[in-house]
Chains A and B, each alone.
Chain A
Amino acid sequence: MGAASALFLAVFLACVVEAVEATTIVLAAGTGRDWRSAGLGVGAGLATLAVIVAALGPAVSEVPLRGLRVVVGALLLIFGLQWIRKAVLRASGHKALHDEEVLYARHLAEATGLQARRAAFVPDWYGFTLSYKGVLLEGLEVVFIVLTFGSNDHNIGLAAIAAGAAVVLVAVAGLAVRAPLARVPENTMKFVVGVMLTSFGLFWGAEGAGARWPGSDAALLVIIPAIGLYALALVALLRRARRREVPVPVPAEVPAAASSEVR
């Protein structure tokens, strides 16, 4: 797998995950409130993101590459490790799986319980703001991923194409089914994205801090599978620890498994 393919795959998968989350919120706002307001919220969110990109894009390209790599590498490492941490906890049963249907139902219940309030040209202000915040927050993560991956690899164009493809694919699928994209294997994808973010963060961060990797760019071909295998080993270890921790139920005793979910 070449560096460009790895870049495309990492950005595409990360952006699919973010787009699925944004689509779930927009669908809840449209179904539970008003489609026009939800659509206006999407438009306003995208316009805000465009302003942020216009401001940040040239600034990022002005930063010296070494300084950029150490900062971006550190951020990617922190993000990636948080993603892996959550994915390992989910895969080992210590944290509830991310379920878009449950999230959709929760957003929908919140959205349907309030009175509509008109503001300027927006028929329903709550539906607008719910949709706007969803697009803006998830979109910020997409922008961050594109700028960091793209600028580090001198290929913002390819990163932007990967992100655009992911967002369009998810948005079209979401609009076609008008339901949460529960069949997207989001937990598995988050695991893979966590491994990719951590690997690229480790590579760029250490390089920015002055280290020289043995084999140069080819080191990524060792780093990515090594981190993936290490995370899988931790899943196996945590599963075994969980089986040991959860007591075997005996008659007249309530099983304690329900108390083991973390956050």
Chain B
Amino acid sequence: MAETGRGLAARIRAFGAFWYDFVIGDDWLVAATVVAGLAGTYGLSRAGVAGWWLVPAVLVVLLPVSLSRAVSGSLLPRRIRGPRRPPAAPRTPPPS
């Protein structure tokens, strides 16, 4: 009985993982921000304000941020690299 329950739980987890990967993909921030942007557009339209510009503005920021997350911040270099020195020669044991 417990075996069957574990097997069922594993199948449900695998099913959930498949749909998460299918819909959300590599970066959850993209999905969350898109939903927030559309919710904001809905809010603006309900308030009688033109809201067509909101999602494009969100995308202009979101895409570089998501790319930056993927390449560990290489859009914004953490520091300017100076010329590298060659590694030191391996140490040799002192003569006995």
Contacts and interface: CB of A to CB of B under 8 A. Distances in A.
Interface residues of B, number: 41
B84 A262 contact: no
Interface stretch (A69-77, A151-159, A179-187): A69-77
B86 A202 contact: no
A64 interface: no
A242 B74 CA distance: 7
Interface of B: 22-27, 30-31, 34-35, 38-39, 41-42, 44-46, 50-52, 54-56, 59-60, 62-64, 66-67, 70-71, 74-75, 77, 81, 83-87
Given A81-B59, A234-B64, A252 B84 contact: no
A78 B45 contact: no
Contact of B77 (A81, A226, A245): A245
B27 A211 contact: no
Contacts of B84: 247-248, 250, 253
Name the 10 nearest CB pairs between A and B, nearest first: A210-B45, A211-B52, A209-B41, A82-B25, A209-B42, A241-B74, A211-B51, A252-B86, A209-B38, A77-B34
B51 A230 contact: no
A59 to B, nearest CB: 17
A117 interface: no
A80 to B, nearest CB: 10
Contacts of A241: 71, 74-75, 77
A251 B89 CA distance: 12
B29 to A, nearest CB: 10
Contacts of B25: 78-79, 82
A78 B24 contact: yes
A247 B85 CA distance: 11
B71 A238 contact: yes
Interface stretch (A83-91, A106-114, A121-129): A83-91
